[in-house]
Amino acid sequence: MVDDVSSRSGDQIEALVREAEDLRQKLDQERQKLNDVPIQTAAAKLAKLELGGMRCRRVLRGHASKVWDGFTTNKEHAVTMPTTWVMACAFAPSMQMIACGGLDNKCSVIPLNFDEDIIQKKRSVATHTSYMSCCTFIRSDNLLLTGSGDSTCAMGADKHALVWDIRSGQCVQSFDGHEEDINTIRFHPNGDAFATGSDDASCRLYDIRADRQVAVYQKESIFFPVNGVDFSVSGRLLFAGYGDYRISVWDTLKCLRAHVMYGHENRISCLRTSPDGTAVCTASWDSFLKIWA
């Protein structure tokens, strides 16, 4: 009799699993019906971009793992983290707090206040199943995007990208699609989408409103990981730094590579466009910063 009960319970569990999978597939099908035309199709009639004039304008030397105030040359804050390797850090728009994390698999938010013990105010707002590789705030101090080696965007090594509400400490959206660890993430200037770069040698564009991936930027000839991404001011261009020492410039609408920049002697670790959009700064394992315009 016990065996019969166990058998029936096992059959019921299998039936529930199948039912849940069927429901998931139906939901995916309904979501697909709501999708618009691909970005490449919508941008088919746009003129091709010509960016041949971009080149290295300045090289900055002498860096040795220091963070300074650019005006006073004094160290402003020192925060001890419970990990041997901090891999990501971001300022909140208000400049009153920072988010950081790394091999501890967590994203910690720390207020910056000289009058208080900032370590006592530190709190964890996001946890991945693998290391956290990057993070950025979304338009306000309340929303935080992280990336991880778990392949998600939140962003991390779990291959997912996750959007977190730091007020509740809860994940409010999860995006997948990458096949390897996510190394970098950057919001589109309009605030409604973001790009990621991964060890799978691809950059991907996710739309928060549509709750899905909308574009992939990759070439069969590129085998190296993407370590840094950023948008132009208009959002039309996506700059991506790779492990092959090069910076690729992608047309975000046509999903084509518009330009390639050479000059570093080791892999690119990160990059950023200037606030006015006139230049791009790249950092590399060759210990140099380079300004491109």
pLDDT over 70 at 151, yes or no: no
Dist. CA 43–CA 259, nearest whole Å: 18
Instruction: Decide if 161 contacts 208 (C-beta within 8 A).
Output: no
Report the pLDDT value the prediction gives residue 150, as an integer from 0 to 100: 63
What's the confidence (pLDDT) of residue 224? Answer: 94
Taking 60 as the threshold, does the pLDDT of residue 107 lie above it? yes
Q: Is it the case that residue 154 has pLDDT exceeding 50?
A: no
Q: How many CA atoms lie within 13 A of 115 on its CB side?
A: 1
What tens digit of pLDDT does each residue of 6-59 get? Answer: 667 777 888 888 898 899 888 878 877 777 778 888 888 888 887 777 888 888
Question: And the tokens for 173?
Answer: 């959206």
* 218-242 per-position pLDDT tens digit: 999 999 999 999 999 999 999 999 9
Write down the pTM of the prediction.
0.68
How much of the chain, in percent, has pLDDT values that exceed 70?
A: 83
pLDDT surpasses 70 at 158? no
pLDDT level of residue 70 (50, 70, 90 thresholds)? very low
Residue 246, pLDDT > 90, answer: yes
pLDDT digits (tens, 9 = 90+) for 169-206: 788 888 888 888 888 889 899 989 999 999 999 999 99
Q: pLDDT band at residue 4, thresholds of 50, 70 and 90?
A: low
> Distances in Å between the alpha carbon of 13 and those of 7, 9, 10, 22, 68?
10, 6, 5, 14, 58
User: 195-219: b or e for each residue (b if 16 or more CB lie within 10 Å)?
Assistant: bbbbbbbbbbbbbbeeeebbbebbe
pLDDT, residue 66, reads 47
Residue 285: the pLDDT is: 85
Per-residue pLDDT at 286: 85
